[in-house]
Structure 1
Amino acid sequence: MRTVRVGAVGFVVVALIGVACAQDKKPAVITITVPERGYKETVVKVDGDEVIGTGATRTFTTPALEAGKEYTFKIEALIEPNNYTKITRPREIKVKAGDAAKIDLTTEDKKLDKIVVRWVPTPVDIVDEMAKLAKIGKDDVIFDPGCGDAVMLIRPVKELGAKKGIGIDIDPKMVAEAKTKAKAEGVADKVVITEGDILNEKDMAGAAEATVVLVYIGDDLGARMSPVLQKLLKPGARVVSHRFKLGDWKPDRTVTVKGADGDDYVLHLWTVKEKEKK
């Protein structure tokens, strides 16, 4: 009987220890602030799993965490401010058992955020209006970051006799399509198109050769690209953007033109100034 009693007591002790350990483990609660709804509701994921909810604040409760240890959770927001822009915003947060933590995903981080813009073609007649605003001539080299099917390169080279067209696009399928189109239009020898990222300064090297930049890209990417353009472009270079501005770089002129489809199109013009001597 004594042996039985000792075994029973041991079992109870082990059980109590197990309960105590379980009680030591507590979840952490993470409050995540995201941009207000844009074109679509922002999607939030923690360690790859979607956090159910809507609006500017989401709450994630972690699994039970062991006391005294620090845990890292990867948080990602997919933000769609409009129907052509997707922003992926990854962050990390460290928490301990019982923490009530907060993280703000409303602020941009140029090093971490990834921006993808869906390609939308600019009508040919509006491309011609952009070329007219830039006063493109035979000595000009045209650069189009995010060139899509390269219409902004092909038209000035073919119709206005521009010296050269340089384009980059992040989508290899669009690069292939643009090269095919340039060949079909008989300007493949004067239009150079490569795969590249407009947020990578090395890929934007063509801007240093350009005298004219024609661009149709979203406000978010335009703002990120603007400092690179201003750094690489030579004084006298002209930039014309269809619809979108380039961050806080104020255009020298903004015009509205009537398209063949009857719609109004806004175009912005910048002329690169001489850099101030320090």
Structure 2
Amino acid sequence: MRTVYVGCVGLVAAALVGVACAQEKKSATVTITVPESGYKETIVTVDGVELKGTGATREFTAPNLEAGKEYTFKVEARIEPNNYTKITRPREITLKAGDAAKLDLTTEDKKLDKIVVRWVPTPVDIVDEMAKLAKIGKNDVVFDPGCGDAVMLIRPVKELGAKKGIGIDIDPKMVAAAKDKAKAEGVAEKIVITEGDILNEKDMAGAAEATVVLVYIGDDLGARMSPVLQKLLKPGARVVSHRFKLGDWKPDRTVTVKGADGDDYVLHLWTVKEKEKK
């Protein structure tokens, strides 16, 4: 049988003589809403191709879609809410010819979103102020999620005699550098540093042993990590954060200290309360 493509108007007549009707092709559009980070413009890609435009919305057009078929596209937003944090927000959307769809990328999905924080060291004198605020003593075990070069572990152990330091970092190069620094400072036997993700509760197991947590990460990661800390830490444990808060967990105290460089540094303190009995 010979197949001839004709317009759909002649479908019945064409069928009588064994002629197939070609499906008319149409485009589909998606209006994508993205967060306006306030620092860098959010980049949006569809199937790896960057969309043009700026601001809170981007438009994507998928041309030449056959009627009756579904097409799935991979959309990704790369968001930088501050100079420290990068969020990758992947989603998928399924379209059909003629669709005019909307996709909201302003809402977090804890299972899909990936957050990476660039390591920025806290000045040594500010680490000492954090340790002072936490009232670190000889019986304390200090935990640093996202420990970087481990200065927040080394200083309390070396200068204040803290019993132990535990740190995790997602970057294996930083883990190696932190171990080397702990060895160079003569405290390697009291500090345990492993590769780990602060968004993985198993990797955060060191918090269960800790009496003090010292941390310097962005607001986004802090909000994600906060419930895990509150779950794992024992009553009486103290948490001190340089600059950033921990989601909706309200600090017990916030102070501003003057650094040796002349800058002001904001520190937040939380003390873990007795857990309510259910």
User: How high is the TM-score relative to the length of structure 2?
Assistant: 0.93
Structure-to-structure mapping, 1:26-175, within 5 angstroms: 26-175=26-175
SS in 1 for 2:188: coil
- Please state how far the C-alpha of 1:63 moved relative to its aligned partner: 2.8
Deviations 1:156-201 (A, max 9, x none): 0000000000000001110010000000000000000000000000
Read off the aligned partner of 2:236 and give its amino acid letter.
Answer: G
- Is the 2:233–2:272 contact (alpha carbons within 8 Å) kept by the matching residues of 1? yes
Taking the aligned partners of 1:181 and 1:21, their CA distance within structure 2 comes to 69
Tell me the percent identity. 87
Structure-to-structure mapping, 1:193-212, within 5 angstroms: 193-212=193-212
Read off the aligned partner of 1:41 and give its amino acid letter.
Answer: E
Aligned residue number for residue 229 of structure 1: 229
Taking the aligned partners of 2:72 and 2:230, their CA distance within structure 1 comes to 39
Read off the aligned partner of 1:236 and give its amino acid letter.
Answer: G
- Please state how far the C-alpha of 1:217 moved relative to its aligned partner: 0.5
Taking the aligned partners of 2:6 and 2:207, their CA distance within structure 1 comes to 71
- Please state how far the C-alpha of 1:17 moved relative to its aligned partner: 5.8
Read off the aligned partner of 2:199 and give its amino acid letter.
Answer: L
- Is the 2:5–2:22 contact (alpha carbons within 8 Å) kept by the matching residues of 1? no
SS in 2 for 1:221: helix
Deviations 1:40-91 (A, max 9, x none): 1110011111111111110101131111111111100000111111000011
Taking the aligned partners of 2:80 and 2:185, their CA distance within structure 1 comes to 36
Residue-pair matches, total: 266
1:14 aligns with 2:15: no
- Please state how far the C-alpha of 1:37 moved relative to its aligned partner: 4.4
Read off the aligned partner of 2:90 and give its amino acid letter.
Answer: P
Cα RMSD over matched residues?
1.5
Taking the aligned partners of 2:52 and 2:63, their CA distance within structure 1 comes to 16
SS in 1 for 2:65: coil
Aligned residue number for residue 214 of structure 2: 214
Structure 2 gap segments, 5+ residues each: 9-19
- Is the 1:166–1:192 contact (alpha carbons within 8 Å) kept by the matching residues of 2? yes
- Please state how far the C-alpha of 1:20 moved relative to its aligned partner: 5.9
- Please state how far the C-alpha of 1:15 moved relative to its aligned partner: 5.6
1:184 aligns with 2:202: no
Taking the aligned partners of 1:185 and 1:94, their CA distance within structure 2 comes to 56
Taking the aligned partners of 2:255 and 2:31, their CA distance within structure 1 comes to 45
Read off the aligned partner of 2:83 and give its amino acid letter.
Answer: N
Taking the aligned partners of 1:184 and 1:73, their CA distance within structure 2 comes to 51
- Please state how far the C-alpha of 1:38 moved relative to its aligned partner: 2.5
Aligned residue number for residue 14 of structure 2: none
Structure 1 stretches of 4+ moved >2 Å: 13-22
